[in-house]
Amino acid sequence: MRGRRLRPQAPHLRQRSARPANVPFAIRRRAPCPRSLARPWCPPGAHHGSPAARCAWGLTYLGEHACEESPGRGVLLDRRYVATLNDQDGFWHKLHAAATTQGVLSRQKVVRVSDGGAYFIEHSDELFCDQPLLGILDCQHAKQHVWEAGHKVVADKKAVPSWVLPRTKAIMDGNVDKVISGLDQEREHATGSQAVKALDDLTGYLSRHKHMMDYPAYHAAGYPLASAAIESTNKRLVGRRCRP
């Protein structure tokens, strides 16, 4: 497959000087296919909207193709989309083929941005076992877990932000161990099964993924911290197709 020619850079786009020639790619966790999406893509013999209809999608792009259109708003000048329906093995073969065609495998660093799903972490580790793969936990997913725990731990809903924000800031500052220690201390005095379970779940989540949460170092190296690119892919591969 021939590589797609990169269009000339528009005058209002400027390349992010902090980005090295790294190769980030993001993967969306497989999920039940939306009814409107499953309708045109539903395989023979399957029911529309059936839980068996599962889609997986991802993208690959080179670090130098990530530019800043305006402060805080990025744009990819070139990328490759991969999507499958009810074909988990095929997804990984296509992702590897897209990465190979784009020149990902020849780079000094391959960066994976994803949520904490074990399925994608394990399979991408195996797929890129011959490359220097760096896994990054999507910081937005990490923050979401803290917010979910806060709503279960704090009785006064107005006080939830006061519980959540210091912890998310500590996580973004690279102090994940400090957050875990604080959760352990809070659990000793927690009352109610819901609060105890929420603290245990959040502690386990952070403990399992803290090796992928060195956000200050990732930011300094110019690596992406969140899977905004794959969220944009959702709009392109799913949203546009579902529009009337």
Instruction: Identify the CATH number of the domain in which residue 74 sits.
Output: 3.30.420
3-state class of 83 per DSSP? Answer: strand
Quick one: 146 and 188 in the same domain?
yes
**Full domain range(s) for residue 131:** 14-138+226-242
| pTM recorded for the entire structure | 0.74
Same domain for 130 and 179, yes or no, is no
Is the CA virtual torsion 137, 138, 141, 142 positive or negative? Answer: positive
Q: Which residue has the tokens 């892919």?
A: 233
* 163 and 133 housed in the same domain: no
Q: What is the predicted pLDDT for the residue at 53? A: 66
pLDDT at residue 26, rounded to an integer: 47
Whether 191 and 203 map to the same domain: the answer is: yes
Check: CB of residue 210 under 8 Å from CB of residue 179: no
Is 86 within a domain? Answer: yes
**Same domain, yes or no: 106 and 175:** no
For every one of its 244 residues, what pLDDT tens digit does the chain have, with 9 covering 90 and above?
Answer: 333 333 444 444 444 433 433 444 444 444 433 332 332 333 444 444 445 567 777 888 888 888 877 776 777 888 888 888 888 888 888 988 988 888 888 888 888 888 888 888 888 888 888 888 899 999 999 999 999 999 999 999 999 999 999 999 999 999 999 999 999 999 998 888 999 999 999 999 999 999 999 999 999 988 888 877 777 766 666 666 556 5
Q: Is residue 133 located within the same domain as residue 192?
A: no
Residue 3 within any structural domain of the chain = no
Classify residue 40: in a domain, yes or no: yes
pLDDT at residue number 60: 86
Residues 54 and 167 in one domain: no
- Domain assignment present for 193: yes
Total domain count, the chain: 2
- On whether both 117 and 235 belong to a single domain, the answer is yes
